[in-house]
């Protein structure tokens, strides 16, 4: 497990001040975001309000995007004053950076002052949000910027749902798709991720089939996810065609042989009736040779699958190289020749902030520089 290096103290001190004035009992209140209409109805009735207020509250949280109960003008002034300290659970945009292709990366500041990354990726027909499930990541995959930054904590359900609402509001356009491909390993935070998927589906209105959870694979957790019988897409970060190579790139693969991972993926397909897709980061001269393509095709025999090839996005900590376009094309063609559906995913937003996790990594370095002491 990596050390805690990812925490970013806020530049301004507002969030620390917010915390300072909160009593322990207020800190313990679970925010309202992420709760269903039924749960909100239960909450309002516990507060002595009529049940229909639950539905109103649901609309104000998920459609109007309130940040405080004080904004709900259909509630009486008196009740608003009583409950206005109950947190909704919204973050603040600390930084946003837009690429020429329209992709916007956000650094969001959470209640405890920690920073996470979310990305909005627009196209003609879609607005996809790439969400984080953890602050940092303990998996330490060798080519991943987030992994190099260490792990701080899991995100709560409301902190995941918030990312989607924040991007939706900023774009002023409905989010159509969600990918759990931001910071973190979703299946180390399965309960919150499952609850967030359900809320995004039922409360925000995004179809389960439009939601992709990407995992490097944690023993037993793919089966655990399958038991939820959701219609989401599972994407598995395979990245290697054999166990020796995978162990080099992904430290956790040591305890999870590739065959066991693929067996668990088969169980997922059987239990959910959904296909699993595989991600494969292409690293020049490491895993992009013709024999790797053949081996990969062989591994995936019997799977009705889709392979997403991700040409490596360079990060500063390691010196892997992105393969040439020709090399990428021939790897793609070899898989196609073996009857495998394959696409190449060029990371958008690369021009400005580079690869996954890097926006936050670069900004974090800026903001964690200690200020010189005033003498």
In angstroms, rounded to a whole number, what is the distance separating the alpha carbons of residues 345 and 102? 17
Task: Please say which residue, 91 or 313, places its beta carbon nearer to ligand SAH.
Answer: 313
In angstroms, rounded to a whole number, what is the distance separating the alpha carbons of residues 258 and 170? 41
Stretch in the footprint of ligand SAH (CB under 6 A) among 32-40, 309-317, 333-341, 362-370: 309-317
Q: How far is the CB of 296 from ligand SAH (least distance, A)?
A: 15
Paired tokens of 308: 């997403």
Stretch in the footprint of ligand SAH (CB under 6 A) among 29-37, 105-113, 202-210, 212-220: 212-220
First to last CA, the chain: 39
Q: How far is the CB of 144 from ligand SAH (least distance, A)?
A: 4
How many chain residues interact with ligand SAH (CB under 6 A)?
17
With binding defined as CB under 6 A, does residue 356 bind ligand SAH?
Answer: yes
Task: Please say which residue, 69 or 210, places its beta carbon nearer to ligand SAH.
Answer: 210
| CA–CA distances in Å: residue 277 to residues 102, 232, 268, 281 | 26, 11, 11, 13
Task: Please say which residue, 61 or 118, places its beta carbon nearer to ligand SAH.
Answer: 118
Q: How far is the CB of 257 from ligand SAH (least distance, A)?
A: 17
Residue of 177, 313, 332, 334 interacting with ligand SAH (CB under 6 A): 313
In angstroms, rounded to a whole number, what is the distance separating the alpha carbons of residues 145 and 363? 13
Task: Please say which residue, 83 or 350, places its beta carbon nearer to ligand SAH.
Answer: 350
Task: Please say which residue, 159 or 279, places its beta carbon nearer to ligand SAH.
Answer: 279
Asked if residues 287 and 242 have their Cβ atoms less than 8 Å apart, the reply is no
Task: Please say which residue, 8 or 132, places its beta carbon nearer to ligand SAH.
Answer: 132
51 CB burial (10 A radius; 0-12, 13-18, 19+): exposed
Q: How far is the CB of 308 from ligand SAH (least distance, A)?
A: 8
Closest CA to 111 of 54, 56, 53, 155: 155
Task: Please say which residue, 190 or 313, places its beta carbon nearer to ligand SAH.
Answer: 313
In angstroms, rounded to a whole number, what is the distance separating the alpha carbons of residues 218 and 201? 24
User: 154-193: which residues touch ligand SAH (CB under 6 A)?
Assistant: 181, 185
Q: How far is the CB of 366 from ligand SAH (least distance, A)?
A: 20
Residues assigned a catalytic role: 117, 356
Q: How far is the CB of 230 from ligand SAH (least distance, A)?
A: 17
Task: Please say which residue, 156 or 185, places its beta carbon nearer to ligand SAH.
Answer: 185
Stretch in the footprint of ligand SAH (CB under 6 A) among 94-102, 198-206, 311-319, 362-370: 311-319
Asked if residues 303 and 264 have their Cβ atoms less than 8 Å apart, the reply is no
**Angle, in degrees to the nearest 10, between helices 52-62 and 37-46:** 120
Q: How far is the CB of 68 from ligand SAH (least distance, A)?
A: 33
User: 116-155: which residues touch ligand SAH (CB under 6 A)?
Assistant: 141, 143-144
Asked if residues 279 and 143 have their Cβ atoms less than 8 Å apart, the reply is no
User: 271-290: which residues touch ligand SAH (CB under 6 A)?
Assistant: 279, 281
User: 3-42: which residues touch ligand SAH (CB under 6 A)?
Assistant: none
Residue of 234, 315, 335, 359 interacting with ligand SAH (CB under 6 A): 315
Residue of 214, 233, 252, 272 interacting with ligand SAH (CB under 6 A): 214
Please enumerate, as own/partner, the contacts of 364-369 that have beta carbons within 8 Å and a separation of 24 or more.
364/6, 364/8, 364/115, 364/149, 367/8, 367/9, 367/11, 368/8, 368/9
**Residues paired with residue 247 on neighbouring β-strands, in sequence order:** none
In angstroms, rounded to a whole number, what is the distance separating the alpha carbons of residues 303 and 160? 31
In angstroms, rounded to a whole number, what is the distance separating the alpha carbons of residues 56 and 60? 6
| CA–CA distances in Å: residue 330 to residues 186, 320, 333, 334 | 32, 19, 5, 6
User: Which residues of the shown chain bind ligand SAH in the complex (CB under 6 A)?
Assistant: 141, 143-144, 181, 185, 214-216, 237, 279, 281, 310, 312-313, 315, 355-356
């Amino acid at each position: 497990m990596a050390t805690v290096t990812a925490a970013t103290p806020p530049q301004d001190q507002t969030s620390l001040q917010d915390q300072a004035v909160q009593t322990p009992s207020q800190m313990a209140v679970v925010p309202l975001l992420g709760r269903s209409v039924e749960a909100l109805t239960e909450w309002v009735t516990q507060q002595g309000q009529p049940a229909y207020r639950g539905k109103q509250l649901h609309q104000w949280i998920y459609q109007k995007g309130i940040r405080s109960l004080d904004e709900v003008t259909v509630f009486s002034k008196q009740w608003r004053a009583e409950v206005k300290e109950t947190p909704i659970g919204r973050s603040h945009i600390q930084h946003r950076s837009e690429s020429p292709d329209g992709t916007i990366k956000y650094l969001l500041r959470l209640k405890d002052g920690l920073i996470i990354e979310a990305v909005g990726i627009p196209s003609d027909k879609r607005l996809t949000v790439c969400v984080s499930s953890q602050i940092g990541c303990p998996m330490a995959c060798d080519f991943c910027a987030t992994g190099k930054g260490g792990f701080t904590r899991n995100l709560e359900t409301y902190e995941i749902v918030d990312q989607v609402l924040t991007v939706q509001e900023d774009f002023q356009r409905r989010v159509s798709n969600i990918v759990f491909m931001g910071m973190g390993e979703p299946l180390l935070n399965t309960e919150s991720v499952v609850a967030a998927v359900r809320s995004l589906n039922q409360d925000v209105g995004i179809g389960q089939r439009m939601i992709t959870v990407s995992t490097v694979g944690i023993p037993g957790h793919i089966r655990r996810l399958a038991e939820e019988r959701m219609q989401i897409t599972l994407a598995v970060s395979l990245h290697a065609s054999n166990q020796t190579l995978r162990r080099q790139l992904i430290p956790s693969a040591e305890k999870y042989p590739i065959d066991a991972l693929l067996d668990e993926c088969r169980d997922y397909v059987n239990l959910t009736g959904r296909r699993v897709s595989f991600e494969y980061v292409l690293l020049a001269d490491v895993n992009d040779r013709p024999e790797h393509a053949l081996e990969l095709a062989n591994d995936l025999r019997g799977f009705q699958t889709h392979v997403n090839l991700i040409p490596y996005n360079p990060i500063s900590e390691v010196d892997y190289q992105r393969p040439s376009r020709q090399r990428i094309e021939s790897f793609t063609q070899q898989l196609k020749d073996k009857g495998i559906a394959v696409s190449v995913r060029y990371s958008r937003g690369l021009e400005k902030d580079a690869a996954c996790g890097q926006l936050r990594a670069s900004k974090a370095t800026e903001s964690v520089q200690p200020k010189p002491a005033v003498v």
